[in-house]
Structures are given as structure tokens and as C-alpha cells.
Structure 1
Amino acid sequence: MITAVLNQKGGVGKTTIALHLAAALAARGAKVMLVDADPQGSALDWAAAREGEPPFAVIGLPRPNLHREIPRHAETYDHVVIDGPPRVNELARSALLAADTVVVPVQPSPYDVWAAREIVALLREAHVFKERQIARFVVNRKIVNTAIGRDVVEALAEFELPVLPTALCQRVAFAECAAQGRTVLEVDPQGPAAREVRALCEELLAASAGGQA
């Protein structure tokens, strides 16, 4: 499965989700590659900050012909996760064409909901070429014990793109792990952040297996 984490808005947590999704898939015993398609190279920086090898391969591939190169890598991996660029451009379009599944992170903010329109429009364009592609919103940095997460799910309903039931909450653990080149699954595997990551991974796998667009 090739999964792209995309949104034209920067700062929504694409790299955090891509890294943790790759880690969760690897923890299930899968052979996983994370492709850093962001020219900023945040996932590569994460890997460089780490002591020892990560539980999945990490390569940089910020090229507009990504959709032509990814299949070659996918032949030797069970899963490829693409950490997409921070805006809609040729790189994002190429990542979209490469992907079987697309994850669109959205923070619980009106600005994020408004910004989602552009990536949804791009998904509709790509549907002509990728009829079986699965796409899902995921709410990221939800504030615990507030109604904001529920409100953003209601606001996203206008796009007719499903929202995964599990949200990733705003937790210090994610930031602390990033500085160490690690994930919450390693640092606190039984903690709430790790449980959210695993649940999110299972929901995404179920959506992909079900083939529900």
C-alpha cells in the first residue's frame, strides 16, 4: 500500500502523522519505507537526530516525477508512506498520483477547514486517474476535553470526504519524541498518544481493505 499524507496548508502535522503511521505499520511486522517528499526534509532531519537505525527506511525524494519512481521502491516494501510537501504543487500532484490511500491532516481550526478546499479539489481531479484511491481526513492536535474536535468534524462534512474516527490529540509527547528522532510508540508504547496512533493505523488499513472511496 502506498499512502500519501497531504495538505496544502503547512504546520498541520503531516510529518508527525507520516512518521507515526510508518512506525505503527512497522510495529505490525511490515516492511515500511517513508519517503520524504517535502523539500524542507523534516523526516530526514528526524532520522538524522536518531541514535541507531529507525524501524523503517527513510529516503528523500522531493521530485515532481515521484509517481514514476515510487512503484520501483514499492516492489520491495509492504508499505510506502509519503510525507508530502506543504502546498499544492507538482510535488503534491505527483505524490497524489502515486498513492493508493491519501491522509489529509486537519487541525481543529476554521483556517484549516477553509484550506482543505484546495486539496479536496485536487483529490477530485486525481480521481479521474485513480478511481480506487481512498482518501480520509484525520483531525490532528485536537485539544482534549473540548468540543472543538467535534465541531471540526461537522465543518468537514461539506466536503463529502470521510473523517477517521480517531483523532490525534495535542500532546507534549509528540514534540519530545521528534527532538530525539523517536516516536511515541517507542517512548511510551502504552500511553494515550501511542494508543491513538495504533487506532488511527488500524482504521486506515480497514478503510483501504474495504475499498471505500
Structure 2
Amino acid sequence: MIVALLNQKGGTGKTTLALHLAGEWARRGSRVTLIDADPQGSALDWAERRNQDGGQRLFAVLGLSRETLHQEAPELARDGDILVIDGPPRVAGLMRSALLAADLALIPVQPSPLDGWASAEMLALLAEARSFRPQLAAGFILNRCGAGTILARETARALTEHDPPLIAPPIGQRIVFAQAMQGGRLAHELDPDSQAAREIAALADAIGRLAP
């Protein structure tokens, strides 16, 4: 299965989610590779910090930020169970290539009207990709949510009216995610009983029910 995390807007926590989902699936026994298709290379930086600090390799991280991704990703996917693509912001050609490669597109959004407007562009690209690949599944992930905020509830309500659907549960704005990214670690490694670790596990379960 090829899972792409994509959004035209930067700052939605896409890389954090991509790494944590890859880690969760690897922890459950899947053979996982993560492709860093973002020219900024944040996932590659995380992997380098992990390697320097002697962290156990849970999954491979490869850099591949070019518009031939849809041609190269299927070959890479044959060597494992799940291929995760951490997509680029604001690079339409790369975004199209990632969508054409994917079996499942995940669209992280924050509880903000600005994210909703940016998602309209993402949905247009998704519709374009589905004209070539009608079987492409997709879903929104509400990310970086403040606990119990009205804005988060309003954003979730607005997204329920969309196709693709909103994937529950939302992911909170939690310090442990920032600490994990800075140290080349994952939330469950820093605190396996944390709310962050439980949310990622629940999200992985929900994605499993949506995946084709």
C-alpha cells in the first residue's frame, strides 16, 4: 500500500504525522519505507538525527522529490508492506505525481479557516488525480488541535460535509511531538502512555479501516 500525506499549505504537521504513522505501522510488524518528497527534507533531517544519536532503525527514509515519483514509487513499494510519502507543500507537479502514485491520500489540516481555503486547492488536485485513478481513496486528518476548542469543533463539522471524509480521531497540539521531531524520536518512544502515542495508534487503526 502507498499512503501519501499531502497539503498545498505548509505548517499542517504533515511530516510529523508521516513519521509517526510510519513508526506505528513498523512497530506493528509492517515493513515500511518513507519517501521524503518535500524539497525541504525535514524527514531526512529527522532520520539523520536519529542515526547520529544511535536510535534503532524502524523504517527506511529515502529522499525522492521529483515529478517521476508516480513511476518510481510502485517499484519501491514492492519491497515492503507500506510506502509512506511525505509530500511537498506548494509544488503542484510533485503533488500530482504523489497522488498518481498513492493508493490512499491523507490531507492533514489544522483547525483554521485558512486551512480550509488551502484545502480547496488540494481537493481540486485530488479530483484531477481521480479522473485517472478512480480507486484513489482519501481522507482529511484534523491535526494540531487545541483541546476542546470551538474552532476545532467547527472545522471538524465543516469537514464532515466533504468528500473525502474526516478520519477520526483528531490529533492534539502536544509538546511531545515537537520533542520527538527535534530528537529523531517518536512520541511512543518518549512516553508510550502519552496521549500523543494513543492518538497516533487510534489514527493508524482508523486509516486501516479506510484503506483500499
TM-score interval, smaller chain: over 0.9
Q: What are the equivalent positions in structure 2 for 1:28-39 lying under 5 Å apart?
A: 28-39=28-39
TM-score (structure 2 length as normaliser)? 0.96
SS where residue 106 of structure 2 aligns? Answer: strand
Give the match for residue 194 of structure 2: 191
Partner residue, 1:7: 7
In structure 2, the gaps of 5 or more residues are none
- For each residue in 1:103-159, what CA deviation from the matched residue of structure 2 results, as whole angstroms up to 9, or x when unmatched? 000000000011100000111111112111110000000001222221101222443
Distance in 2, Cα, partners of 1:181 & 1:98:
27
Q: Find the aligned partners of 1:120 and 1:131 in 2 and give their Cα distance.
A: 14
User: 1:71 is paired with a residue of what secondary structure?
Assistant: helix
Q: What is residue 66 of structure 2 aligned with on the other side?
A: 63
The whole-number CA distance in structure 1 between the counterparts of 2:15 and 2:131 is 27
Identity %: 51
Q: Secondary structure at the match of 2:131?
A: coil
Q: Offset of 1:203 from its aligned partner?
A: 0.4
Counterpart for residue 173 of structure 2: 170
Distance (Å, rounded) in 2 between the aligned partners of 1:159 and 1:43: 29
Quick check: 1:92 aligned with 2:95?
A: yes
Give how far 1:49 is off: 0.9
Unaligned runs of 5+ in 1: none
Equivalents in 1 of 2:147, 2:44: separation in Å? 30
Q: Is 2:18 the counterpart of 1:18?
A: yes
Aligned length: 209
Q: Secondary structure of 2:144's partner?
A: strand
- Render the CA deviation track for 1:18-77: whole Å, top value 9, x for unaligned: 001101110110000000000000000001111234311000000100010011111111
Q: What is the alpha-carbon distance in structure 1 between the residues aligned to residue 204 and residue 9 of structure 2?
A: 22
- TM-score between the two structures when normalised by the length of structure 1: 0.95
Which letter does structure 1 place at the counterpart of 2:6? L
> Which SS does the other structure have where 1:199 is aligned?
helix
Residue 74 in 1 paired to residue 70 in 2? Answer: no
Moved more, 118-127 or 153-162: 153-162
Match of 1:201 in 2: 204
Measured in 2, the distance between the counterparts of 1:143 and 1:159 equals 22
Separation in 1, partners of 2:128, 2:92 = 13
1:180 and 2:187 aligned: no
Taking the aligned partners of 2:160 and 2:83, their CA distance within structure 1 comes to 28
Deviation at 1:88, TM superposition (A): 4.2
1:153 to 152, 156, 168: 156
Distance 1:92 1:115 in 2: 14
Q: Does 1:120 align with 2:156?
A: no
Residue 136 of structure 1 is matched in structure 2 by 139
> 2:109 and 2:23 mapped to 1: Cα distance?
20
SS at match of 1:141: coil
Residues of 2 paired with 1:106 and 1:170: CA distance? 12
Amino acid at match of 2:45: D
